[in-house]
Structure 1
């Protein structure tokens, strides 16, 4: 069932299994059960320490458990974890089989110490690049702590269950039958929600850190590159990041980063973090910056206050907070977020199979989303404020060739309609006639550009009316010692490779600043050396 190269890689990885494991499947007579059974038979044939039995009695079919023989250590999958979830399957096999997780040792100890009974259910789609982080994190917890159980459920195979629970975005996690969270979460974030004292302990530890030479705020391509360039100068470097990788984590395919013909956002982000960790960089994840206080005197320390209350000091700061999806800012949007309003067609599209949806935005992102969704859903209505689409001609031609797509131009979305539990439609105004209309829908995919994450900097550094940080060609902001790079700045092109280059520029600019401000004002004139 697996491609030859993939099967060969998996067989090699299974050599890391040190404890016998059993794959216990629950199947029926359907084609998906046959497919899963064949996959599990193939995996069991790759290692003497792996076996497969069809003796499960889970109500979800097809499903299976990966169980360490003679113990109650197991993780479960309902569906066939291929696509983006194949890595989750491989890691589950290894970890149930005794191969240790590479997560931070202190964090793993925190997982082991959790008290209480936790039954997690995670709904995922095979096309979701955000889901594996959640699935893998909860699987690690289930392996380490006997009080934690987890099953990962492929939503498209259990549509009745998805509809009954009102799930309209993935990943969606339930804990002991109640909603726990939706969207990307890593192990640190999940544990932080369960261990209520963790945030306070972390904030205290962060505040006790010595001042940095360079503190990077943001862990996307700009921030990661800045950290690498700073650390290579041998100076004390720290990174504060809400989620390492930033918006790249939400990017499906990357085909325009020089020397990398193709990769996917989560993989690229993981490689960024791995590269940064090759150096002596203090990475503080799951932390949001809340306030910047400039140095009182030239060469003094800049303070960054975090949302947790922690405070960090640094001789220089590089702001690389990136951007986020722009919202429509209409009534109903927030109320029905993840209840039909979504910002990721790749992740959530499969949940709308056979339904009617709208895509808001006529740029490349919007048109690409509409094209992708048209192959899954019953009908797509693309809504564009302008009088013409702004996407590339080749994308427009493809879009107009699709029979189940309508295009509304010169259209202002005015309200997301719903019944209290989910989206039921969209209200809009025809800008050419001022007439108001509604269209019945099950989902709204918003694709209208980016908004810089700079609200917390208002009144501190110079911002454009759009909220972008004003920088010069060295990455300097209006505040001495404070630099910026990436999508949060006035850089004209919001591209990964541009952000990375800007991060390098900002780091070199910060290093130059440190050299110049570290010389005492009374040091005198340099000694001139004659060169013949």
Structure 2
């Protein structure tokens, strides 16, 4: 199953293993059992520290669990983790042996404080690009917690379960037969949901922890934040970078073709390059952190009780996908409401779907979905689509698409189980219309990640941080750069330039003050 080049790469990756990792498979008469055994055998052949062995258990479908030095790890798989999930398998093997990138002690303490026992199932599809993030996050939590089991389930092998749970989007996280989350989610938000669901306890749950004093604290790990951290460190300043995840919104970007000198790259590759570049300098990188507040005297408080202080703070937190804010949206995420056409589009093969938003992202989503869905209706608030003409022409040329303008989405209508219609107001007549759909994909732009400084610095009515030409905010010592600011044109290359400029401005101010 694995080609020679892949095996060579895995041999290098697994060269650091010290303990024995067992891939313990269950016996099954399923037609694809041989495929699973072939994959596990191929993976095991790349290291003497990995064993593919029978567990002595049986299953109606291909399934296995991971052990370490003869002990269970809490990591389970149902299905064959190929496609995007192959990486989840490789990382699970490394993490089980304590190798690879794991959460630092501050985050690990929050995970261990969860009240057990914890038993979680995550339903995925092998074409889902967001699923591995959730699977890998829950696997790591299971390895950190003493009473935590997590099972990745390929929905293609468990259609009865998918239907009984009402799953219409992935990843879907299920506890005790109830879906607690569906769709894209990052480690911190997922941990927060588990804390709310299971509760926390112990001395580590709420103790404040001082992370230290720095010359510069950069908040945000995207292009602007990474650049600001590098430029600050190059000036010899004691620098910390706080990020929910390195790369920020870039991680959700597919093809990037406008990075000067780079013909083509993809978001995750650029994010990894940013991380490596920052890590090559003496920057304290604190990932999986979310800022709660920043005071005017530059004390930075984090969710989870940690805090730190700085002479200068650079806010570079970017922006996130904007929500409609209508009834039915949040309640039915994963059950007819989606934001990622690449991930959830396959669930709507031959069905009727709607796309809300007539900008480039909305029109691109409609074009992609037209190749899968039976019909695609795009709803736009304004009187015309705002996307580039080449995209609009492509959309209008497709036989199974329709465009509705002057449409103010009012409600995503459900039958109590899933979305069945989109209700909108025709802004020309104020008449309420209803269109039957099986799913709604929301693509209405970005919202600045600035809520945590709304009571500290000046914001525009759109939530952007007001900055001058050097990145100064309304509060001395607090700077901002990138998509979270009023700087025009939200582009990666511009964000990098803004990050460099603001870091240099902060250093120049420091020199003038004689610090």
SS at match of 2:314: strand
Local SS of the residue matching 1:9: helix
Question: In the alignment, which residue of structure 2 is the partner of 1:444?
Answer: 440
How far apart are the structure 2 equivalents of 1:421 and 1:497?
44
Q: Residues 87-127 of structure 1: CA distance to partner in whole angstroms, max 9, x if unpaired?
A: 1111223445x463432563557767877432221122333
Gaps of 5+ in 2: none
- What TM-score does the superposition give when structure 2 sets the normalisation length? 0.86
How far residue 128 of structure 1 moved from its aligned partner, in angstroms, is: 3.2
Give, in whole Å, the separation in 2 of the partners of 1:228 and 1:487: 18
| Cα shift readout 1:471-522 (whole Å, capped 9, x = no counterpart) | 2222122322221111111222112222122111111111111111226xxx
1:63–1:14 CA distance, 2 compared to 1 (3 A): same
Question: Which residue of 2 is the match for residue 222 of structure 1?
Answer: 224
Corresponding position: 1:373 with 2:369: yes
The aligned runs of 1:118-517 (5 Å cut-off) are 118-143=118-143, 147-182=147-182, 183-186=184-187, 190=191, 193=195, 196-197=200-201, 204-205=208-209, 208-294=210-296, 301-306=297-302, 312-458=308-454, 460-517=456-513
Whether the 8 Å contact between 2:138 and 2:150 is mirrored in structure 1 is yes
Q: Relative to 1, partners in 2 of residues 1:228 and 1:282: Cα closer, same or farther, differing over 3 Å? A: same
Larger CA deviation: 311-320 vs 285-294: 285-294
Q: Relative to 1, partners in 2 of residues 1:146 and 1:199: Cα closer, same or farther, differing over 3 Å?
A: closer
Q: Helix, strand or coil for the counterpart of 1:81?
A: coil
Contact 1:125 1:350 in 2 (8 A): no
Deviation at 1:339, TM superposition (A): 3.2
1-structure distance, mates of 2:204, 2:143: 27
CA distance in 1, matches of 2:169, 2:486: 33
Q: Post-superposition shift, 1:242?
A: 3.7
Note closer, same or farther for the CA distance 1:50–1:214 as it changes in structure 2 (3 Å cut): closer
Quick one: structure 1 residues 259 and 24, their matched pair in 2 at CA, closer, same or farther if it must change by over 3 Å? farther
CA distance in 2 between counterparts of 1:142 and 1:510 reads 42
TM-aligned CA distance change 1:222 to 1:198, over 3 Å:
farther
Question: Is 1:85 aligned with 2:85?
Answer: yes
Q: CA RMSD in A?
A: 3.3
Q: Aligned residues, how many?
A: 509
Conserved? CA contact 2:134–2:185, under 8 Å: yes
Displacement after TM superposition at 1:352 (Å): 3.3
Distance 2:230 2:471 in 1: 16
Note the C-alpha offset of 1:420. 2.9
The 1:393–1:62 alpha-carbon spacing in structure 2 relative to 1, beyond 3 Å, is farther
The runs of 5 or more residues in structure 1 that have no matched partner are 295-300, 520-532
Contact (CA 8 Å) 1:22, 1:68: kept in 2 or not? no
Contact 2:22/2:53 (8 A) holds in 1: no
Q: Deviations over 1:418-456 (max 9, x none)?
A: 123321210123334444321112221110111112234
Structure exhibiting the larger radius of gyration computed from Cα positions: 1
